[in-house]
Chain A
């Protein structure tokens, strides 16, 4: 069993839909990262959080440390949100990555 599990693996949505991507982990962590990888391959950091909730534009990330679970929400989804979203958990000196959720948003 992977230390970081994401669900779903693939997700399609219509423009405007509310989207949720989940991440569960089995190890002790000091923080959790959400990353976005566009079709061209580049990786961008969206959030780093260790408790509670963070919001940036239409993106919201939450984490429940007790339940070892995090969610990434996208409100009013748009085709430009189409990407792979990767959850990564951080120990002291390294990141452990989930395998990613591929999101496609259709007009």
Chain B
């Protein structure tokens, strides 16, 4: 079954304690992306990657890191989480066409993060 998986699904942590949210897709997609969703603000892009070892900042990258060492995995790292990073996080993946992001995005189930 084609899918994007995220772990953990729920996480409560304290300020400053480094954490990683994993994302994996089994569709051989080139494009992967992380979004956060906050009430009233909708989905906002954190980082994206168009292929292995290629990553770029989205609209709200501050406080986050990513890496793309393998095509299937795109972990999101919070080196020193703060309460303003409390949010619902989604990973997504897509094929890339000749003209760029030409195909539908597949979303993971989401990770609800609370930083106290």
Contacts and interface: CB of A to CB of B under 8 A. Distances in A.
Query: Do A and B make up one complex?
Result: yes
Interface of A: 30-31, 33, 35, 41-45, 48, 86, 88, 90-95, 97-100
A45 B58 CA distance: 21
B48 A93 contact: yes
Interface residues of B, number: 28
Nearest to B103: A48
A17 to B, nearest CB: 25
Given A93-B50, A94-B101, A41 B88 contact: yes
B105 A30 contact: no
Contact of A90 (B40, B48, B90, B101): B101
Interface stretch (B12-20, B21-29, B70-78, B106-114): B106-114
Contacts of A86: 42-43
B68 interface: no
Contact of B110 (A30, A31, A42, A91): A42
B86 to A, nearest CB: 15
10 contacts: A33-B104, A43-B107, A44-B107, A48-B104, A91-B100, A93-B31, A93-B50, A94-B45, A97-B42, A100-B42
Contacts of B90: 43
Contacts of A92: 99-101
B12 to A, nearest CB: 17
B42 A99 contact: yes
Contacts, number: 60
A33 B33 CA distance: 16
Interface in B22-60: 31, 33, 35, 40-45, 48, 50, 56, 58
A95 B45 contact: yes
A99 B40 contact: yes
B102 interface: yes
A38 to B, nearest CB: 11
Nearest to A42: B109
B114 to A, nearest CB: 14
B104 to A, nearest CB: 4
A35 B107 CA distance: 10
A41 to B, nearest CB: 5
